[in-house]
């Protein structure tokens, strides 16, 4: 395996990976501000069967790793109901025509709201990120992720 190379990512979009990074930083900051509750929404095309999306799960993991007051995520397809506790991070999944991928993380308090959004206008960003990763891997050995590629 020492002569092998692997590049792994839950999403190859450069923009999404920047969002992952900012999401982790914001959740670390928000750990000190308990007045803010956090929730997520993800929307994809009608043909997407799984929910929540892998991108939403990666965002949720970034939050759960840094925000002590959230212990697990609960994925709900639009229209589904579930009894949530204050320890649950809700991920609401929506399906709509012609949506490449939309992810929103919202921190809300009684007095204001902070929102992170990534809206994929097409699937081109995923392909461009994969090509960038392939070019970057030239001559490298080992296991790499978008964090190494983007120098986070």
Catalytic residue among 44, 51, 103, 118: 44
CB atoms within 10 A of CB 70: 22
CB 93 within 8 A of CB 42: yes
Question: CA-to-CA distance for 104 and 116, rounded, in angstroms?
Answer: 6
- Ranges of H-type helices in the chain: 14-30, 54-64, 124-136, 146-149
Catalytic residue among 21, 28, 39, 48: 48
Whether 44 is catalytic: yes
Give me 79's structure tokens: 């229209």
Kindly list the catalytic residues: 44, 48
């Amino acid at each position: 395996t020492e002569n092998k190379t692997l590049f792994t990512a839950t999403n190859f979009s450069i923009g999404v990976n920047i969002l992952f990074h900012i999401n982790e930083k914001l959740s670390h900051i928000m750990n000190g501000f308990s007045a803010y509750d956090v929730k997520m929404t993800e929307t994809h095309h009608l043909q997407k069967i799984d929910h929540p999306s892998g991108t939403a799960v990666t965002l949720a993991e970034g939050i759960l790793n840094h925000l002590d007051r959230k212990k697990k995520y609960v994925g709900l397809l639009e229209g589904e109901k579930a009894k949530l506790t204050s320890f649950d991070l809700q991920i609401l999944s929506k399906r709509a025509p012609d949506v490449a991928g939309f992810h929103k993380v919202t921190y809300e308090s009684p007095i204001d709201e902070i929102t992170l959004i990534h809206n994929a206008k097409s699937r081109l960003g995923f392909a461009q990120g994969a090509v960038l990763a392939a070019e970057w891997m030239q001559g490298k050995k080992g296991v790499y992720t978008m964090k190494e590629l983007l120098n986070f």
